[in-house]
Structure 1
Amino acid sequence: MEKHGRELVSPPEDAISRARFSLHSNKLLVSSWDSSVTLYDVDENVARVKFSHPTQPLDCCFLDDFNGLSGDSDGTVRRYNFSTQKEDILGKHEALVNSVEFSEVTGQIITGSWDKNLRFWDARVADGSERTAVHKCEQPAIVECMSLAGYYLVVASGITTINIYDLRNVSRPMQERRSPLKYKTVSIGCYPNHLGYAIGSVDGRVALEFFDLSESLQTNSYAFRCLPKSRNATCSLSAAVNAIEYHPIYGSFSTGDNDGYCLTWNGEKKKMLYQYPRYPSSIASLSYNRDGQLLAVASSYTYQGDEKMNETTHIFIENVNDAHASIV
């Protein structure tokens, strides 16, 4: 019987909202409903720095290996200095912030909120300085989730609205679309080749879309129900797809759902490549490291998962080989 990868020590005490690898090392940043943001050294399996404050961080990301960000339940966007172990407030929204991204291409920090706004911040702000956003983009509804690849930012708001931005000109969306899925979008992953994106919904479906509106590419768009190869009686046919993460080298993608399944897919050939053993609780977040040899799987209660699932919190680090992810 297959086993899970190694577990990180000292996992958060409450549900995990996000786990992200650095783009430059095997450091992992994890935000949790226990009001913490923790920096892990995955190679050494140790929690290096833990920040705690009164509010709940709902998303997190790296600025670089020495600094990070979170979006919080009180509307604040916080910055963390891992070397000094200090935090400060970059800025604020008028409602909770559930999406945070940093573009290494443009140097922009982008945040999405339930105040129906995207805000763009200058990453060069000095520590300790709070300022207003450089730019603000109103959305038709609350921001549900977003994903970034190169110059493209894909934002889901409300039930079916998908707005696509070019970060070189964020005055208006490059494209305004409706999701091909019937139910609310809860996860997005952009293709590593910057040609399109995948979205996951609360009813267990995934849709693959292309930025290019030409008929030749649009005919390749499709949707499918994200189901494991085998299910027991406790698994549903419509477990929400909480996470979509693309392999940085191969271009395959992995999905994590509320039933505790992590599945890897070949989008081009429309088939499953690999199914990890079922995790003890819902999959809250997934993240590949920079070379795709490791996959962080955050398994925890997600507040909308199966109540019968285990509520314990785990962070598993899976070793990824060609059989798990290669589409060749």
Structure 2
Amino acid sequence: MASHQFTVASPPTDAISALKFSPDPNSTRIVVSSWDKSVYLYDLRDENGAVGEGKLLQKFEHRAPVLDVCFGENENEIYTVGLDWDVRKIDLNTTVQTVLSSHEQAACNVIYSREHNLIISASWDSTLHVHLGGDVDSLPIVVPLPSKPFSISATATKLVVAMASRSLHIYDLKALALLTAQSDSTDPGGNRVEVEPWQRRESSLKFMTRAVACMPDDNGYASSSIEGRVAVEWFDPSPESQARKYAFKCHRQTGEDGVDVVYPVNALAFHPVFGTFASGGGDGVVALWDGISKRRIRQYQRYQTSVSAVAFSGSGQYLAIAVSPGFEDGHDDVPEGSVKIYVRELGETEAKGKGAK
């Protein structure tokens, strides 16, 4: 099967901050957060069950721009964070929005850990809020961070927090779940807990981290920077595993004078089946990479403006790409029709690694 691409109907009107597929491998639902103060729920299937431009199912307005969104235990609940500082749960069946907690500055990231039933948010107030799922009345534990977080990602056992000052913390999710379950939930400010990370690391990249994404096999993660580079690292602290880590240049375009123009790598996402990963850059390019064999598998056509988010579906059959004008373009206004969501239906081996059987 050859791949083909289509555009999702009724996109947001301002830059897209995040997009995520439903955790159900058979689902074609996508949830999208935007700077237009809204969250959008789409289904790529139309009324006849055909996959194409799909339809907008629901739109949820917020008080301020929404910086991240994720599905929860199933595809009928989502969690959002943004510039209103709140961590929200939205029940898609009833459309009820519940504020789980509020940070002291903008909340920039939110993830749900299925294995441990945790909702984890990160904020520019240099904290994590860790909630137990299923109980909207319980208050979180508040985990102080040494600096402002930029991106978080999780595996079945670990949470990776990429921060300012090129600092990374890796937390054991089982330990976080235990602390949250034991927390005194009567303090309205949340229970502030000093948590020792499983590992502390310094980024392999010289410049500010833009995104981090964990490998689906629980072995490591990739991170990207504002300076057109991606690093691939493994959790195993042994010298042999640490010797495998590496970084490479990407998302660069040769200018008219022959000098490379370097773009930020805004987004990373791992394929759930093959373990390869996609990167999206300020140059409007999406590339697929085999992190094990250190090779680029393919690079797609250049989009009209910056790629702000990428995501694979639970089955790995679809790759969603959010295209939004960014600061790279040198202007703040977003021209009408410039924000788009593209979806590629991938061929059977399109995202397969070079050495995969």
TM-score category of the 2 structures, normalised to the smaller one: over 0.9
Given that residues 205 and 238 in structure 1 are in contact (C-alpha distance below 8 angstroms), is that contact kept between their aligned partners in structure 2?
Answer: no
**Which of 100, 114, 130 is matched with 1:104 structurally?**
114
Structure 1 pair 102–3 and aligned structure 2 pair: CA distance change class (3 A) = closer
Alignment of 1:102-181 (within 5 A): 102-126=112-136, 129=137, 131-133=138-140, 135-170=141-176, 171-181=195-205
Compute the displacement of 1:219 (Å): 1.2
- Tell me how far apart the structure 2 counterparts of residues 195 and 176 of structure 1 sit (CA, whole Å): 16
- Tell me how far apart the structure 2 counterparts of residues 232 and 9 of structure 1 sit (CA, whole Å): 34
Compute the displacement of 1:308 (Å): 7.8
Mark the runs of 5 or more structure 1 residues left unpaired by the alignment.
none
Amino acid at match of 1:113: S
Compute the displacement of 1:85 (Å): 1.9
Alignment of 1:248-327 (within 5 A): 248-302=272-326, 304-307=327-330, 311=335, 312-327=338-353
Amino acid at match of 1:263: A
Amino acid at match of 2:78: G
Compute the displacement of 1:306 (Å): 2.9
Given that residues 251 and 264 in structure 2 are in contact (C-alpha distance below 8 angstroms), is that contact kept between their aligned partners in structure 1?
Answer: no
CA RMSD of aligned residues (A): 2.1
Larger Rg: 2
Aligned residue in 1 for 2:15: 15
- SS in structure 2 of the partner of residue 291 of structure 1: coil
Of residues 165-174 and 100-109 in structure 1, the stretch that sits farther from structure 2 once superposed is: 165-174
- Tell me how far apart the structure 1 counterparts of residues 303 and 155 of structure 2 sit (CA, whole Å): 29
Aligned residues between the structures: 321
Aligned residue in 2 for 1:191: 215
**Which of 42, 57, 81 is matched with 1:71 structurally?**
81
Structure 1 pair 162–117 and aligned structure 2 pair: CA distance change class (3 A) = same
Mark the runs of 5 or more structure 2 residues left unpaired by the alignment.
47-53, 177-194
- Tell me how far apart the structure 1 counterparts of residues 331 and 289 of structure 2 sit (CA, whole Å): 27
- SS in structure 2 of the partner of residue 217 of structure 1: helix
Identity of aligned residues (%): 33
Given that residues 149 and 194 in structure 1 are in contact (C-alpha distance below 8 angstroms), is that contact kept between their aligned partners in structure 2?
Answer: yes
Residue 211 (structure 1) aligned with residue 235 (structure 2):
yes
Q: Deviations over 1:224-273 (max 9, x none)?
A: 00147x75649954211110101111111110001100000111111110
Aligned residue in 2 for 1:27: 29
**Which of 37, 57, 60 is matched with 1:51 structurally?**
60
- Tell me how far apart the structure 1 counterparts of residues 321 and 254 of structure 2 sit (CA, whole Å): 20
Length-normalised TM-score, structure 2: 0.86
**Which of 266, 279, 291 is matched with 1:242 structurally?**
266
Given that residues 274 and 323 in structure 1 are in contact (C-alpha distance below 8 angstroms), is that contact kept between their aligned partners in structure 2?
Answer: no
Given that residues 204 and 225 in structure 1 are in contact (C-alpha distance below 8 angstroms), is that contact kept between their aligned partners in structure 2?
Answer: yes
Amino acid at match of 2:201: R
Given that residues 137 and 172 in structure 1 are in contact (C-alpha distance below 8 angstroms), is that contact kept between their aligned partners in structure 2?
Answer: no
- Tell me how far apart the structure 2 counterparts of residues 61 and 301 of structure 1 sit (CA, whole Å): 22
- SS in structure 1 of the partner of residue 350 of structure 2: helix
